[in-house]
Copies of this chain bind each other. A is one copy, B any other.
Amino acid sequence: MARLDTRQQILDLAEDLIRSKGYNSFSYHEISHRLGVKNAAVHYHFPTKEVLGLEVIRSAIQRFKDFKEETASLSLEEQLDAFIQTYSINSENDKVCLVGAISVEFYGLPENMTNVMKGLTRLIHDWVTNLLAMGKAEGMFAFDMKPETKATMIITNLAAGVQIARLMGNETFSDLIKGIKTDLGLNK
């Protein structure tokens, strides 16, 4: 009867819940109930909620590293499109990104979680910065500021884009994507 993937199902559901309503808005009971197991089964795999939260972030870090590898051989514009597409999928599924979810609840979360999250944020920001710097050198992307600044602008557009889509509708998000591309001199 032992489901070997229970641990993974808990992890996936926890990430979904964090990105649907926030870390402090779901309970171990909700996870166990929805997976058809008992409360203590969740504690067996993740002894405390903080450990569960940390594992969600760590698995997101691994996922982003995989994303980097998988897209490394694509053209710079395709890499940017792949990055943007992960947010489009979020928007369609009504999920915000982890950066948004964790930063908004920041002072209500265990410090360990926010510290590990800082690492993921840097990782993403460095990757986008690099992509933009190379793309500008190549003449692929056009912008008139430091690549770090433009990276912050694009990441904030995407992060809050999926948030505001919850309040204004999904067209707002797809419209926003067009704006990002226009400002980069794509979409001609």
Using a CB–CB cutoff of 8 Å, the interface residues on chain A facing chain B are 20-22, 24-26, 94, 96, 99-109, 114, 117-118, 121-122, 125, 144-146, 148-150, 152-153, 155-161, 163-164, 166-168, 172, 175-176, 178-180, 182-183
Contacts and interface: CB of A to CB of B under 8 A. Distances in A.
19 contacts: A20-B107, A21-B24, A21-B109, A24-B24, A25-B108, A94-B106, A96-B103, A114-B167, A117-B167, A121-B168, A125-B168, A145-B183, A150-B179, A152-B172, A152-B176, A156-B158, A156-B160, A156-B163, A157-B160
A108 B160 contact: no
A155 B20 CA distance: 21
| Copies in the assembly, this chain | 2
Nearest to A22: B105
Contacts of A176: 149, 152-153, 156
Contacts of A159: 156, 160, 163-164
Contacts of A163: 99-100, 103-104, 156, 159-160
A107 B21 CA distance: 5
A164 B168 contact: no
A144 B94 contact: no
A121 B179 CA distance: 19
A168 B166 CA distance: 25
Given A22-B108, A163-B104, A175 B148 contact: yes
